[in-house]
Each structure stands twice: as C-alpha cells, then as structure tokens.
Amino acid sequence: MATRDSTRTRLLDAVDEVVFAGGDTHAPVDVILDRAGVSPATLYRAYGSKDDLVAAALDRRHAEWLEVWEAAVAQARTDRDRLLAVFDAIDTFRTRSTGARWCAFLGTAAGHAEPAPVLAAAVRHETETLRARLLDLAEPVVGPAAPAVVEALVLLYSGELAMRLRPVVRGIDRPRTRDLAGVILDRADLLGA
C-alpha cells in the first residue's frame, strides 16, 4: 500500500519540528511519530527507517535553503553582492516558519559521531553544494583566488551558524559575518592562492 503524500509531509514536518527546530538529534522515533500522528508501520512503509526519514527531511530542507539562497542571489546587483548573498539568505531562511536555531546539517553532523550512511550522504551533499555554488559565484569576483576564498567563506558561514546557538550580548550586534566576508574578498591576495 502506497503512503499518501500528506502522510509523508506530516512525517517530514515532524522531523523539522522535533529534530531541527527542537534541536534533538537523538529524539526517539516515538516522539516523531506522535508529532506526525502516524503509526510505526506507516513510517517504515514510507521511509524504511528513522535515518531514511531524517535524510529525506534534510534533503527537503536543503532544497528549501537553495531556493532562499537563489532568491538572495537574484536580488543582488553585482557579482560581489551575489557572492555575499549567502549571508543574507541565512537571515531570511531563519525567519521562515521552519527555521531552526542553527543549521540542520551541522546539527546532524555534530549529533552523530558515526552517522548512518544515508545521513552522512545528506550532509556531504549539502557541503559539496555549498562549496560548488560559492566557487561559481567567487570566480568572477576573485578569479584564481576563488578556491581559497571559498574555504574562508565556508568557515565564516559555519561560524555564523554556530554563533546562533550563543546568547546575544546586550550592546553587541550580531556578528557582522557579511562584512567580514567582504574583508576577505578585499584581501583575497593574502590567502595564498
């Protein structure tokens, strides 16, 4: 018997709420099932395992993230702004109803010392996509320094997401990651490219 799309969506939404927004990477499957309002048999018929379900939720979140990022790139007027749009997209993505305290992919990687192959593949795909897209956007801006710049931007990107777990200190603005990224672009020659 095939699983309805609405049931699959409820399961994915439950993972978003419990695991990603709730931050519980080791949530018992029963908690996810209760949130989705489905039976264990329905989960296993639809996805095969909890890990497969979480990987499908990561894939869905990744597709949603790429849409937000692409919209930010499309709004930018210069090559430099298109490259830096990844930092604008972080804020936009977080304000969505499915936003989370930080990155679902970093949370998955941090929450599993040895992740199941399907989870490792989802995290790897997101990381590879991030690097490849940044490289495409960096080449018109910094030319041959693009690979080194991308590694620096990935570090800033990950740091920005991690800092979202810390409390905001009164009187201190959120990290100005986009501004720091601009400094890296201005001094790409120092990155040893």
| pLDDT tens column, 124-158 | 999 999 999 999 999 999 999 999 999 999 999 99
Q: Scanning the structure block, which residue is given the tokens 């499957």?
A: 29
pTM equals 0.89
How many Cβ atoms are within 10 Å of 190's Cβ, its own excluded?
11
Q: What is the pLDDT of residue 99?
A: 67
pLDDT < 70 positions in the chain: 1-3, 97-101, 169-175, 192-193
The DSSP symbol for 170 reads T
How many Cβ atoms are within 10 Å of 168's Cβ, its own excluded?
10
Q: What is the pLDDT of residue 3?
A: 63
In degrees, rounded to 5, the angle at the alpha carbon of residue 73 between the alpha carbons of residues 72 and 79 is: 140
Contact between 20 and 57 (Cβ < 8 Å): yes
How many Cβ atoms are within 10 Å of 143's Cβ, its own excluded?
11
Q: What is the pLDDT of residue 49?
A: 94
Please tell me the distance from the alpha carbon of residue 148 to that of residue 184, in angstroms, as a whole number: 10
Q: What is the pLDDT of residue 192?
A: 66
Q: Domain 55-191 classified CATH 1.10.357?
A: yes
Contacts of residue 190, defined as CB under 8 A and 6 or more positions apart, other chains included, come to none
H helices present in 47-113, as ranges:
50-75, 79-94, 104-111
Please tell me the distance from the alpha carbon of residue 175 to that of residue 185, in angstroms, as a whole number: 17
Take residue 119 and report the two structure tokens written for it.
């989870």
Contacts of residue 27, defined as CB under 8 A and 6 or more positions apart, other chains included, come to 18, 19
63 sits in the region (left: phi over 0; alpha: psi -120 to 50; else beta) called alpha
Q: What is the pLDDT of residue 96?
A: 77
